Amino acid sequence: MSAATELPRLLAGARAGRGATLRDHLANHGLPSLAVDPAGLIAGVEAAGLHGRGGAGFPTATKLHAVARGRRPIVVANGAEGEPASEKDRMLLAHAPHLVLDGAQLAARAVGAREAIVAVGEHARAAQASLAAALEERVAARRDAVPLRIAPVGGGSSTG
């Protein structure tokens, strides 16, 4: 077995018809490391070479540096699915919502934000329901240092 097949898969723990629960998520992916300092988080993103998935492919670390220098940093995870005929955001939010929420928490830590928002297309009902259930689990478990909220937004092509 190669090292690549031993790593957790993006949708590990997801079950047909519902997203991964917090228990599923932690069993498959574990806790994100919060021991890394904010500058170290951004340096890790930069070293990984992460880029946005939009047409410009803008470097994620550049965005994080810019937000961290702001007066009132805030994290917005864009799951609004504006790309025609794409369902990647809807799929990830519906089946692996805790990965998105962990990412928002880590990004908030990296930039010093006191709030994180996940924007979801208003027509992505399954994704919204899965994300809301995941958020309820995390609140009940007192899992997150930074408050998270879901913001339904207009547009987008999801119908889920």
Write the CB contacts of 160 (distance below 8 Å, at least 6 apart in sequence): 87, 90, 94, 123, 124, 125, 126, 127
What's the pLDDT at 134?
Answer: 94
Under DSSP, the state recorded for 80 is -
What's the pLDDT at 7?
Answer: 42
The whole model's pTM is what? 0.82
Let me know if domain 35-153 sits in CATH 3.40.50.11540.
yes
116, 147 in Cβ contact below 8 A? yes
pLDDT in tens, 71-83: 999 999 988 866 6
Residue type, 48: A
Give the pair of three-digit tokens for residue 98: 């805790």
Hey, where are the domains in the chain? 35-153
List, for the chain, all residue ranges whose pLDDT scores fall below the cut of 70: 1-17, 34-35, 54-55, 81-86, 155-160
Four-residue CA torsion sign, 94, 98, 99, 100: positive
User: Which residue reads 């009902």 in tokens?
Assistant: 125
pLDDT in tens, 25-40: 888 888 887 667 888 9
What's the pLDDT at 55?
Answer: 67
Residue 116 CA to residue 114 CA, distance in Å, equals 7
